[in-house]
Structure 1
Amino acid sequence: MQIAIDLPNDFVNFQSVAEIEKDMRLSYSLWLFQNAKVTITKAAELAHLDIYDFMAACKQNQVPVIDIGRQELLDELAGMQSL
C-alpha cells in the first residue's frame, strides 16, 4: 500500500524526500510498537531496520523495549532465586 501526504514546500526543503520517508517510517513504527499494535520485529521491518538498530531507535526516542513493572521484575527475580 502506498500513502501520499501533501506537505508544504517549506517543510520539504529541510530534508530530501528519502529522508522524510525514512523519518516517517521510523516514527510510525515507533508509535505502532509503543501502542502494542505490532511486535518489535514487525516494527523494525516497517522501519527498514534490523532489530538491533530499531531497539537503539527505541532507546533514543524513550520507547521502552521491555514492558515490565518494578514489582513484576522483583517477583521474577525472587522466583529465579528459589530455583
Structure 2
Amino acid sequence: MQIAIDLPNDFVAFQAVTDIQQEVRTSYALWLYQRERVTLAKAAELAGVSLYDFMGICKVNRIPVMDITRDELLEELKGFNLI
C-alpha cells in the first residue's frame, strides 16, 4: 500500500526523496513499536532494516527494547549462574 503525503517544497529541498521515505518509514515504525502496536521484529521490517539495526535506532531514540525491570533481569540471570 502506498500513502501520499504533501510536504512543502522548502522542507524537502535539502533531502533526496528516498532519504525522506526512509525517515518516514523509520519514524512510523518507532511510533508503532513504542505504542506496542507491533513487535520489535515487525517494526524493523517496516523500517526496512535488520532487527539489530532497529534495536540501535531504538537506543538512539531512547525507546527500550526490553520490557523487564532490573530486578526481574537479575532473577533471570541468577538462573543462568551469571551473577
The equivalent of 1:42 in structure 2 is 42
How many pairs are equivalent? 81
For structure 1, which runs of at least 5 residues remain unmatched after alignment?
none
The equivalent of 2:9 in structure 1 is 9
Tell me whether 1:28 sits opposite 2:33 in the alignment: no
Please provide the CA RMSD for this pair. Answer: 1.5
Return the offset for 1:35: 1.0
Runs of 4+ more than 3 Å apart: 74-81
For structure 2, which runs of at least 5 residues remain unmatched after alignment?
none
State how far apart, in whole Å, the 2-side matches of 1:43 and 1:54 are.
Answer: 8
State how far apart, in whole Å, the 1-side matches of 2:76 and 2:52 are.
Answer: 25
Return the offset for 1:73: 2.7
